[in-house]
Amino acid sequence: MLAETGKQVADEAPKFENASVHDPSVIKVEDTYYVFGSHLAAAKTTDFMNWTQIASGVHDGNPLIPNVTTELAETLEWAQSNTLWAPDVIQLPDGRFYMYYNACKGDSPLSAMGVAVADHVEGPYKDLGIMLKSGMWGQPSEDGTVYDATVHPNVVDPHVFFDKENKLWMVYGSYSGGIYILEMDSKTGFPYPDQGYGKKLLGANHSRIEGPYMLYSPETDYYYMFLSYGGLDAIGGYNIRVVRSKAPDGPFEDAEGHDMTGVGGPAGTFFDDEAIAPYGVKLMGNVQFDYVEGETPGVGTAYVSPGHNSAYYDKATGKYYLIFHTRFPNRGESHEVRVHQMFLNEDGWPVVAPHRYSGETIGAYEAAELVGDYKFVRHGKDITAEVKASSIIHLGADGKVSGSETGTWRFIGDHGLELKLDGSVFRGGFLRQWDGGTMQNVIVFSALSEAGEAAWGSRVGLKE
């Protein structure tokens, strides 16, 4: 664990209790964080490390919606589904908790989205009704035109949020016609009338972009919209990306300044990953920090298809958190919630700490303690089922990088990093974290290139 200086206190293993919530959307109520996800699953924690499962499964008796099969019968019937997809929960000015639920057929965008309300965050929730539908082939859609899945959204994956002016919005969408945003009435919890599906932010022609989540940073005055690219299963190449804007309804840009509004598959295409892969800042994808001879035997961070995240900014501590679900190498489709701390780099982009959050606080370091061998991963910009394994690089005392990559590195301030590799400049920082593979605290770094590619390093943890 860490003292506030960032110095190692002791290599005492932190304790974790895991939970399984797909598409976890976070809300804090008093001193407890809750995540709500697909299949009416939910869990809670007070430290982002130890989770308690509180609900799972769309069946009568689920404490969130005890009579869900009748309460949401219209939604399930429209979507021709027996389960629910990624929800979002927010507390509105009346003090009550509003759950934005949705169901989808899955092999088509036949979907319905509605809202249910409860006096307590853990429920029980009572349905207020459906607000949006999609997938009505050949029929008038929400905007009055004939529904077209290449341009109209799939009404799933909502995130409802207040902007810095305390105005309520809902961003949503998956594949199909893209990601959309609606202006919401904070008194009713429903969209203001006459908006249709709202304003399109990005995507088209069934490009695999989904799970939007918005986070405003008072430090940079940017709205960061997190997205998941690719497919969510173990061979889908799911990966987490981010774009930003000074306005909650865009236009959003990536690190190279691309206007994301036009990003999507070309007309006539379906799941064209190559068309979208160059755009958006890729924060993380499939990764594995391998065991190095001489270490305590074990594998460190190893994720398959991490994605559909939410994010949280703690005003009191100034910490940013990334909350997501992930699968794991050789574990099939089983998944668990993971939380990683994020930091803003010099360019105002979030970088993600390589290992799961274990209570660490970034500190002030000395250049000499950063010199050494690191397990290194470049996440790239591709959408791939390949698990990107670590290689070894050395950060030399002379400012040179050697090993599997060559270049230079520079330590900036208390914990900043500038890394130059093959003409690419990565900016980020150093941190000391718990490495569950080597079972000790190690120096790590995380940085983003000017093209929006993440690079992670974790110090080789040789036994003494």
237: which DSSP letter? Answer: B
Could you tell me the domains of the chain? 24-352 (2.115.10.20), 367-459 (2.40.128.10)
**Is-catalytic flag, 210?**
yes
The tens digit of pLDDT for each residue in 441-460 reads: 999 999 999 999 999 999 99
Q: What is the pLDDT of residue 11?
A: 77
| H-run or E-run covering 376 | strand 372-378
Kindly give, in sequence order, each residue whose CB lies less than 8 Å from that of residue 212, ignoring residues fewer than 6 positions away.
157, 159, 171, 172, 173, 179, 201, 225, 226, 227
Give the pairing of strands 391-395 and 372-378: antiparallel
Q: What is the pLDDT of residue 296?
A: 86
Q: What are phi and psi of 315, to 5 degrees?
A: -65, -35
Strand partners, 200: 180
Catalytic pick among 127, 142, 210, 254? 210
**Average confidence (pLDDT) per 10 residues, the chain, 464 residues:** 35 94 98 98 98 98 98 98 98 98 97 98 98 96 97 98 98 98 98 98 98 98 98 98 98 98 97 98 98 89 98 97 98 98 98 98 97 98 98 98 98 98 96 96 98 98 72
The number of C-alpha atoms within 13 Å of 321 and in the hemisphere containing its C-beta is 27
Q: What is the pLDDT of residue 298?
A: 85
Distance set, CA 264 to CA 41, 161, 235, 284 (Å): 31, 25, 21, 20
The number of C-alpha atoms within 13 Å of 463 and in the hemisphere containing its C-beta is 10
Give the pairing of strands 416-421 and 302-314: unpaired
Chain-centre distance of CA 448, in angstroms?
16
- Can you say whether the dihedral through the CA atoms of 346, 347, 350, 355 is positive or negative? negative
Catalytic pick among 23, 88, 142, 382? 23
Planar angle of CA 322, 323, 329, nearest 5 degrees = 105
**Is-catalytic flag, 405?**
no
pTM equals 0.97
Q: What is the pLDDT of residue 156?
A: 98
Among left, alpha and beta (phi > 0; psi -120 to 50; other), residue 216 is beta
How far is the C-alpha of 100 from the C-alpha of 130, rounded, in Å?
A: 10
Q: What is the pLDDT of residue 299?
A: 87
Q: What is the pLDDT of residue 464?
A: 55
Distance set, CA 30 to CA 45, 166, 195 (Å): 11, 20, 34
Q: What is the pLDDT of residue 5?
A: 34
Q: What is the CA radius of gyration of the chain?
A: 22
Annotate 370-389 with b (16+ C-beta within 10 A) or e (fewer): bbbbbbbbbbbbbbbbebbe
